[in-house]
Amino acid sequence: MLLAIVFTIIKILIVITCTLLGVAYMTWAERKVIGAMQVRLGPTHVGWKGLLQPIADGLKLVVKEDLTPDMVDKPVFIIAPLLGMVPALASFAVIPFAETFTVFGMEIQPYITDLNIGLLYVLALSSVGTYALIMSGWASNSKYALLGSLRSSAQVVSYETAMGLSLVGPALLAGSLSLRDITLAQQGLWFVIPQFVAFIVYMISAVAETNRAPFDLPEAETEIVAGFHVEYSSMKFALFFLAEYANMYLVSALAVVMFLGGWNGPILPPLVWFIGKVLVLMFFYLWLRATLPRLRFDQLMGLGWKILIPIALANILVTSIVVYIVR
Amino acid sequence: MKNVFDTFFFTEILQGLGVTMKHFFKKKVTYKYPYEDTPVFPRFRGIQYIKTDEEGVTKCVGCYLCQVVCPSECIHIVTDCGHKGQRLIRKYELDLSRCIYCGYCEEACPVDAIHMGRDYHTVDNTRDNYVVNMKTLTQNYKKEQKMAEAKGEQL
């Protein structure tokens, strides 16, 4: 029992460390990739090829003065960034990174836990992350922050629906909500093939869910300064920043588990497959950001409610009928 | 019908993604400025230099034309009468922080003395260093000559 607890704690530390490192280097990768797509170089100065840039950025943010404006709602103002970061990291508890393997006669599970409602847990936590945006906008006592947070809450609420509905299809096919069972169900055929429509809907919703371009309305620099984190500085701002990227990793990992067969793949070890798929999806994120302009807000809501949700519902209907007939 | 196809298969978005991907592999056009200079075009107007004759005496005769023509009033000349009745230039100052590099001084100069150079590294950490005098300007001439020789050109 004690050994199990120690093991879990070690695994949690490993996962959080890897996630934070991945988040830091995703900022570097983003600058590099978008720079390359705009025929620039991106960061090159700090370290070899700018590889120490995220560490320098982190140091800079830690050293900066942490100022709290007057008239803010202090407790809410302080809780908001934490509330953004914690769910994003906590969701990684149920992501199955690889198949169990045996070392020295001990069975090691390379994931923190295997909840039988893992999918529900992830969706629930991702909606908790919305509160961070709402609370930060409200507590900042600034019209721009409030506008940004209102936009983001509207956006996240509408796209949460499409995202959840699109995830129902794979869950129906696998007959389970446990992410590990869903991965095991894809050993023969990845769900991206029978559930291609759901995959497209999920990817669009996921980009909208994480407030990234082309759906980065809450942070629209050109319209409302910076959106919900306009009044934040120093480490609080860094937390928002990290939460955004951690969420990107999360939805990518979830897409890999639900649609792209998780750790399944020939030749290479499972963990390499998993990480490789996640990184491909992350690259797709950056690629989209370098390509597409921002949507108008009514277009965004129209896309969510009028197009994605009906398509996701139709997909569920068809999937359910097929699954019913086959079983 | 075509529009429906485009809507359902994101053809325009895919086109855009293709464009960005094509640029991703292109040769980058960045000049790492402090470490390598951006290239300068043939008619570029940089920091001025003043030509000297063979003995190293400045060609400038103190006619005040550049001071008069200068639109930002950054040239200040003080002349004096020498013992043989010739004109001596006591002071020739050019304030680089005011200069707009229009090249009018070069146009106005009747004796082919002041010229626009090709160097643009004016930054400094004190304001006083922006005010350059005749000595610096003639030294600039030597620098420019060296640069031109390296390129195999004539000033």
**CA distance linking residue B4 with residue A271, whole number of Å:** 41
Mutual angle of helices B2-9 and B11-24, in 10-degree steps: 50
Burial of A52 (0-12, 13-18, 19+ CB in 10 A): middle
Report chain A residues whose CB lies below 8 A from the CB of B27.
39
Preceding peptide of A214 cis, ω within 30°: yes
Tell me if A41 and B28 make a contact (CB, 8 A cut-off). yes
Min distance A248 CA to chain B CA atoms (Å) = 19
Tell me if A40 and B30 make a contact (CB, 8 A cut-off). yes
Tell me if B17 and A291 make a contact (CB, 8 A cut-off). yes
pLDDT value of residue B1: 63
pLDDT value of residue A218: 66
pLDDT value of residue B99: 92
Mutual angle of helices A234-258 and A74-90, in 10-degree steps: 30
Min distance A138 CA to chain B CA atoms (Å) = 35
Res. B93: pLDDT tops 70:
yes
Q: Does A292 touch chain B (CB under 8 A)?
A: yes
Alpha helices in A38-142 (DSSP H): 53-63, 74-90, 118-139
Burial of A210 (0-12, 13-18, 19+ CB in 10 A): buried
**B21, B26, B28, best to mutate vs chain A, most A CBs in 10 Å:** B28
Burial code (b: 16+ CB inside 10 Å, e: under 16) for A246-268 equals bbbbbbbbbbbbbbbbbbbbeee
Q: Does B8 touch chain A (CB under 8 A)?
A: no
Percent of chain B with pLDDT over 70: 99
Report chain A residues whose CB lies below 8 A from the CB of B22.
none
Here the tokens at position A72 are: 């803010």
Q: Does B3 touch chain A (CB under 8 A)?
A: no
Report chain A residues whose CB lies below 8 A from the CB of B28.
35-36, 39-41
**A39, A307, A308, best to mutate vs chain B, most B CBs in 10 Å:** A39
pLDDT value of residue B78: 93
Q: Does A187 touch chain B (CB under 8 A)?
A: no
Q: Does A6 touch chain B (CB under 8 A)?
A: no
Give, in order, the Cα–Cα distances in Å from A6 to each of A12, A100, A200, B148: 10, 18, 40, 72
Collapse the DSSP code of B14 into the 3-class scheme (helix H, G, I; strand E, B; otherwise coil) and give the result: helix
- For residue A180, the tally of other CB atoms under 10 A from its CB is 23
With CA atoms as reference, the chain B residue closest to A284 would be B17
Do residues B29 and A38 touch, judged by C-beta distance below 8 A? no
- For residue A306, the tally of other CB atoms under 10 A from its CB is 10
Collapse the DSSP code of B116 into the 3-class scheme (helix H, G, I; strand E, B; otherwise coil) and give the result: strand
Q: Does B21 touch chain A (CB under 8 A)?
A: yes
pLDDT value of residue B2: 67
CB pairs under 8 A between A and B: 35
pLDDT value of residue A261: 80
**Which position has the token pair 């409200």?**
A138
Residues in chain A, pLDDT under 70: 105, 218-225
CA A159, chain centre distance (Å): 13
Tell me if B23 and A44 make a contact (CB, 8 A cut-off). no
Tell me if A37 and B23 make a contact (CB, 8 A cut-off). yes
DSSP states along A20-40: HHHHHHHHHHHHHHHHHHTT-
Q: Does B30 touch chain A (CB under 8 A)?
A: yes
The arithmetic mean of pLDDT across residues B15-29, rounded, is 87
Do residues B11 and B5 touch, judged by C-beta distance below 8 A? yes
Q: What is the pLDDT of residues B98-143, one digit of tens each?
A: 999 999 999 999 998 999 988 888 888 998 889 998 888 888 898 8
pLDDT value of residue B69: 94
Q: What is the dihedral sign for C-alpha A153, A157, A162, A164?
A: positive
With CA atoms as reference, the chain B residue closest to A34 would be B24
Q: What is the pLDDT of residues A106-143, one digit of tens each?
A: 777 777 777 888 888 888 888 888 888 888 888 888 88
Tell me if A291 and B20 make a contact (CB, 8 A cut-off). yes
Report chain A residues whose CB lies below 8 A from the CB of B32.
41, 44
pLDDT value of residue A105: 66
Q: Does B16 touch chain A (CB under 8 A)?
A: yes
- Amino acid letter, B41: F
